[in-house]
Structure 1
Amino acid sequence: MRRTLAEVLGVDVGLLQSGMGGVAGAELACAVSNAGAAGCAGGYKLIGGALSAMLARLTAGTDRPVGVNLIPEVVGPEELDRQVAQVLDETPEHVHLSFFGMPADAVFERVGATGRPMVVQVGSVADGVHAAERGAVVVAQGVEAGGHLLGTAKRDDLVAALRAQLPDACLVASGGIGSPAEAGRALAAGADGVLLGTAFVVAHESRAHAYFKAAVTAADESDTVITDVYEIGWPGRRHRVLATAATADPGQAKKFIGRTVVEGKPYLVPRFSSAVPTDATTGRIEEMAMYCGRSCSAISDEISAADVVAAFARVLPGAAAVSDKKG
């Protein structure tokens, strides 16, 4: 029997927050989960002590369902295996695993054996079917999305195609969703819930740099471009970003243009780095990778994560549970 996202994850609102590396720290994830949706902290390339530090903040900040996002494409199989092991060993059962792109079948088996929910974001029907057959919640990412693009299909087309093949699967729509009305359109296409990224970039609890947040709220969809210039650290993948001097002139030198700090460790930031500017980043922020979906046209204010969840709760499956609790 088909279950909604809210039912699968045990949340009040059928909404996933994207586990955006750098931007989605434990603070944002906990704020989203404590508001009744499913927050998600970006694991990205964190491993060992750095990952443990983030996981400790995550588990201390909420006892509600919350996720950790990992990216098979940017770490090798051994590193991903270590990351998965750390999450499973160092967190309680209310923490689920989320993957951007397809992990190996052995990962599906390992996580499945624990009974924890697993969320997998895909960009094609074939990958979506593969993930669903292994018990995962499937996030269908359309090209309207900000960040790295997994496919070439429009959101609702991909959702509808997946629903036709997977009538009982839990499907989540991602890409270009900046308003409750747009979320409603995704549900009409066959989704059981939605994933939001750009809407949470500008949340108070987001670790996005202040310049990045202001640029998103000031932008509309015509200010975004699909490009592959931000390749250092994540080669071979197109991404939707705000247009910058770097996207306008990809022939510039790949010299260092800033500095940042990740879990207490300093790093230099080269031009064309895939790393986003965070509140710990200094330098030429205006040239850095500011991932932004077409949903920016509907986003004009920096608000709390709880306010984002509340705005979408009116239209998403599971919203009735929120109303009942407040009544």
Structure 2
Amino acid sequence: MRTTLAEELGIRVSLLQSGMGGVAGPGLACAVSEAGAGGCVGGYKLTGEALSAVLRRLTAGTARPVGVNLIPEVVGPDELARQVTQVLDETPPHVHVSLFGMPGDGVCERVTAAGRKLVIQVGTVADGVRAAERGAVVVVQGIEAGGHLLGETERDTLVAQLRAALPDACLVAAGGIGSPDEASRALAAGADGVLLGTAFVNTHESLAHRSFKDAVGSAGGTDTVITDVYEIGWPGRRHRVLATAATRDPGQAKKFIGRTVVEGKPYLVPRFSAAVPTEATSGRIEEMAMYCGLSCDAVSGEVPAAEVVAGFAPVLPCADITETLSGEK
């Protein structure tokens, strides 16, 4: 039987926040979950004590459903298995596992066998069917999305194709959703909820660098490009970003253009790095990867994450979970 995203994850509003590595820290994830939607922290390549520190802040910040996003193709099967083990061992049952792209079957089996909710983002019909068969909520990403692209199909077309193939699955539309009207169109195509990324970059709780936020807030969809230049750290995957000097001249030297800090550890940032500029980044921010979807047309000034959730709630399926939401942390 088909269920809404809210019913599936035990949240009030059928809305997920993208687990954007570098941007989506525990503060943003918890704020979104506290507002009644599904927050998600970006796990990216974190392991060991760095990942544990993030998980501690996440679970201390909310007792409501919240996720940890991991990226199978970036870390590989062995490292992904270690990350999943940490999430399952170090977090309570209200924390779900969110995966960007399909993992091996063993990962899905481990997560569902542990009684955790599983969310998988896909960009093709074949991967969507595989994800649903493995018990996942399926996030259907269209090419309108910011960040790395998993397919080549427009959002509503792919949602409709997967709805036809999976009449009972819980499908979540992603890509280019910056307004309630756009969310309504995704629901009409067959989605049971929506995922937002770009809309949360410009929130108070986002860890995006101030210049990144300002650029997204002043940009329109025509200011974005699909390219593969930001490949250091994430090769072989096209991505939608704001146009920069790096996208206009990909033949430049891959020299260091900045510095950043991740969980207390300093790193140099080379030109064409896949890492986003955060509030801990310095250097030539204007040349770095500023992932941005077509939804930037509807994004302007900086707002609290709860305000973003509230703006979409009236058009999205909601669930009455008053008792769950009134529990103390």
Q: TM-score, normalised by structure 2?
A: 0.97
Q: Which runs of 5+ in 2 are unaligned?
A: none
Letter in 1 for 2:13: V
Distance, in Å, in 2 between the alignment partners of 1:107 and 1:65 is 20
For 1:114, give the aligned amino acid.
Answer: A
Q: Which residue of 2 aligns with 1:309?
A: 309
- Report the number of matched residues: 324
Match in the other structure for 2:141: 141
Once the two structures are superposed, the pairs formed by residues 10-25 of structure 1 within 5 Å of their partners are 10-25=10-25
Cα distance, 1:76 vs. partner?
1.6
Letter in 1 for 2:228: D
Cα distance in structure 1, aligned partners of 2:203 and 2:145: 17
Cα distance in 2, alignment partners of residues 187 and 70 from structure 1: 26
Percent pairwise identity: 78
Q: Partner amino acid for 2:275? A: A
Is the 1:9–1:65 Cα contact (8 Å) retained in structure 2? yes
Secondary structure at 1:200 match in 2:
helix
Q: Which runs of 4+ in 1 moved over 2 A?
A: 319-322
**Secondary structure of residue in 2 paired with 1:205:** coil
Q: Deviation at 1:183? A: 0.2
SS at match of 2:300: coil
Q: C-alpha root-mean-square deviation of aligned residues, in Å? A: 1.1
Q: How does 1:92-111 map to 2 (within 5 A)?
A: 92-111=92-111
Give 1:301 deviation, angstroms: 1.5
Tell me which amino acid in the other structure corresponds to 2:217.
T
Match for 1:203: what amino acid? T
Which residue pairs with 1:211 in the alignment? 211
* Residue number in structure 1 paired with 2:181: 181
Shift of 1:300: 1.1
Q: Distance in 2 between matches of 1:97 and 1:48?
A: 17
Provide the C-alpha distance between the structure 2 equivalents of 1:180 and 1:84, rounded to a whole number of angstroms: 34
8 Å Cα contact 1:313/1:319 also seen in 2:
no
Question: Cα 1:295–1:319, aligned 2, differ >3 Å: closer, same or farther?
Answer: farther
Instruction: After TM superposition, list the pairs within 5 Å mapping 1:193-204 onto structure 2.
Output: 193-204=193-204
**Contact 1:102/1:127 (<8 A) preserved:** yes
Indicate the residue corresponding to 1:66 in structure 2.
66
SS for the counterpart of 1:169 is coil
Letter in 1 for 2:308: V
User: Any conservation in 2 of the 1:142–1:152 contact (CA below 8 Å)?
Assistant: yes
Q: 1:28-67 alignment to 2 at 5 Å?
A: 28-67=28-67
Return the offset for 1:209: 0.2
Conserved 8 A contact 2:11-2:319: no
Q: Give TM-score, length-normalised by structure 1.
A: 0.98
Q: Deviations over 1:258-317 (max 9, x none)?
A: 000000000000000000000000000000000000000011121000000000001000
Matched residue SS, 1:314: helix
**In the alignment, is residue 87 of structure 1 matched against residue 87 of structure 2?**
yes
> Which amino acid is 2:157 matched to?
D
3-state secondary structure, aligned to 2:19: coil
Answer whether contact 2:22 2:208 (CA < 8 A) is retained.
yes
Matched residue type, 1:226: I
Displacement after TM superposition at 1:40 (Å):
0.1
1:79-107 deviation line (CA, Å, top 9, x unaligned): 00000000000000000000000010000
Verify: 1:262 aligned to 2:262, yes or no: yes
Alignment-mate amino acid for residue 291 of structure 1 = Y
Counterpart of 1:124 in structure 2 is 124
> What CA deviation, in whole Å up to 9, does each residue of 1:158-182 have, x standing for no partner?
0000000100000000000000000
